[in-house]
């Protein structure tokens, strides 16, 4: 399951029914209460009440995950910061930059790890310079992602599975990408905030009819421009251990990345070049489960070296993008300038 850092209060621990409900919300965050009831064998009212409780307690957030290509993201890099003295100031400086999607203080060889998502190589260089200037940073080490193989927040469609799928750098399928206009971008911005917003609420915000709004949203979903999914508070699913893993491999990095992506507990896999050949994210309920996953990675075909870092504190984790939320001109049906 895709998980998120704790948000409001103490989340509910998921029972078997909640877990089944969450799995359906992760497949389709806009699934109707009636369909949930049919799938889970309960009344519509019971399904609605459970969904409402999960959302109200912050145990689950249903959000639209917009694919990077929609907003022009063409370069992703993982950066390890070599810090002299305490690492938190450097982590805070990194987290303050809009280009960072993930920042963590770690118990590893480097005090802080960062993920950058930017438009191009020039933007990456600017971000590298900014990170080198962060408090206490003596230097940086870079892994340049070329293929996003597995991402817990943006599940890969079955037809697009395999190295290079998933909508990130190196992904195929550009010919299937729809043109996205300002109204579409406004809808995507609204879905990022609330993936279960009704067509009526969305149509009011973008000043289109409900049928026109519904058609646009369905087109964005079917094209893969956005995936509406349930993000679960990690505490609710018993995640107690979170680590990052860098692999050095002999032979094909994409092949090793594909093998890593199939292992239980591995929720993120990227292939590339630089400090490592493959970078993975691993979640586990306890130390034995974590050790089992790490041993499986060490034993994977082609892997010759494994380096791991324990996430002591995730300072930032955000996969939303700035999208226009300007009011729509009700006479023209397009966003006002």
Task: State yes or no: pLDDT of 110 exceeds 90.
Answer: yes
Q: Would the pTM of this model clear 0.95, i.e. be above it?
A: no
Task: State yes or no: pLDDT of 237 exceeds 70.
Answer: no
Bigger pLDDT: 72 vs 37: 37
* Cα–Cα distance, 124 to 146 (Å, whole number): 13
The contacts of residue 291 (CB under 8 Å, 6+ apart) are: none
Task: State yes or no: pLDDT of 172 exceeds 50.
Answer: no
Q: Give whole-number Cα distances, 25 to 1, 20, 62, 106, 195, in Å.
A: 11, 9, 8, 31, 10
pLDDT computed for residue 241 by the predictor:
83
Task: State yes or no: pLDDT of 171 exceeds 70.
Answer: no
Task: State yes or no: pLDDT of 41 exceeds 70.
Answer: yes
Query: For the residues 64-81, what does the mean pLDDT come to?
Result: 90
pLDDT computed for residue 262 by the predictor:
92
Task: State yes or no: pLDDT of 270 exceeds 50.
Answer: yes
Query: For the residues 63-76, what does the mean pLDDT come to?
Result: 88
What's the distance, CA 327 to chain centroid? Answer: 28
Domains and CATH numbers, the chain: 1-67+148-337 (3.30.70.920)
Q: Which pairs count as long-range contacts for 46-54, CB under 8 Å and 24+ apart, including other chains?
A: 47/21, 50/17, 50/18, 50/21, 51/21, 51/25, 53/12, 54/12, 54/18, 54/21, 54/22
pLDDT computed for residue 10 by the predictor:
55
pLDDT computed for residue 322 by the predictor:
77
Query: For the residues 7-20, what does the mean pLDDT come to?
Result: 71
pLDDT digits (tens, 9 = 90+) for 274-294: 999 999 999 888 889 999 999
pLDDT computed for residue 335 by the predictor:
41
């Amino acid at each position: 399951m895709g998980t998120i850092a704790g948000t409001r209060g103490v989340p509910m621990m998921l029972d078997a029914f909640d877990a089944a409900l969450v799995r359906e919300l992760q497949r389709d965050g806009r699934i109707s209460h009636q369909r949930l009831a049919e799938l889970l064998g309960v009344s519509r009212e019971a399904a609605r009440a459970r969904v409402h409780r999960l959302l109200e307690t912050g145990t689950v957030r249903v959000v639209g995950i917009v694919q990077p290509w929609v907003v022009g993201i063409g370069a992703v890099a993982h950066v390890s910061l070599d810090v002299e003295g305490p690492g938190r100031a450097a982590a805070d400086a990194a987290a303050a930059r809009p280009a960072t999607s993930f920042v963590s203080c770690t118990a590893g060889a480097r005090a802080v790890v960062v993920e950058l998502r930017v438009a191009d190589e020039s933007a990456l260089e600017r971000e590298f310079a900014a990170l080198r200037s962060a408090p206490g940073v003596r230097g940086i080490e870079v892994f340049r992602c070329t293929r996003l193989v597995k991402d817990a927040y943006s599940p890969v469609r079955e037809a697009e599975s395999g190295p290079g799928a998933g909508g990130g750098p190196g992904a195929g399928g550009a010919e299937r990408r729809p043109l996205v206009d300002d109204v579409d971008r406004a809808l995507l911005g609204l879905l990022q905030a609330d993936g279960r917003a009704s067509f009526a609420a969305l149509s009011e915000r973008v000043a289109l009819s409900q049928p026109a709004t519904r058609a646009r949203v369905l087109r964005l979903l079917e094209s893969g421009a956005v995936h509406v999914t349930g993000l679960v508070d990690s505490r609710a699913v018993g995640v107690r251990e979170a680590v990052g893993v860098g692999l050095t491999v002999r032979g094909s990095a994409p092949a090793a990345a594909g093998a890593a992506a199939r292992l239980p507990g591995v929720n993120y896999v990227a292939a590339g070049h630089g400090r490592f050949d493959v970078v993975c994210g691993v979640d586990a309920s306890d130390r034995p489960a974590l050790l089992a996953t790490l041993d499986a990675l060490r034993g994977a075909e082609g892997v010759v070296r494994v380096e791991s870092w324990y996430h002591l504190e995730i300072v930032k984790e955000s996969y939303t993008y700035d999208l226009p939320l300007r009011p729509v001109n009700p006479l023209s049906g397009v966003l006002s300038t």
